[in-house]
Amino acid sequence: MATDFDLTLRPPPPLPLGSAKLVIGVTAFVMLFAGLRFLLLGAWLVLPFLLVDLALLVWAFRSSRTAARAFERLRLAGQELVVERTDPHGRTRRWTLPRSWTRVELERHAPQDRLWLRHKRKRMLIGKHLNRRERREVYDVLARALNG
């Protein structure tokens, strides 16, 4: 079966590993000097909080790298729209929707729009990680593909 339309939606890439290590290293260096200053002033209780801050920064960078592995793939082949959602751990869920009964909807809300696929009374949110402009572009492309 030939594919009429194939679109993969990916979250924005995280900071490259080398740059992330540089940010963490510079932050650790600044925290070391701040910690020494607090230690000399007798405020040693600040040191555990500095370590927790640094640990949370490392956790945030790791979480960002993990989350960036998730993606959504929309394929229109013949009379079917196939939606595949892959989570950061590689597990994939798949839905098949009939082309003639599926519509794409764009809800305009501040600060973010929402992009939906509607089949009869059910709706599926897609493109959660996209920004407002990207959602509108995906809406236009997908609406043309479904109607064409």
Give the model's confidence band at 3: pLDDT under 50 very low, under 70 low, under 90 confident, else very high.
low
pTM of the model: 0.76
Give me the sheet containing 5-9, strands edge to edge.
5-9, 71-77, 80-86, 92-98
**pLDDT(145) > 80:** yes
Q: Average model confidence (pLDDT) for the chain?
A: 91
pLDDT tens string 73-128: 999 988 899 999 999 999 999 999 998 889 999 988 867 789 999 988 899 999 98
- CB of 129 within 8 A of CB of 87? no
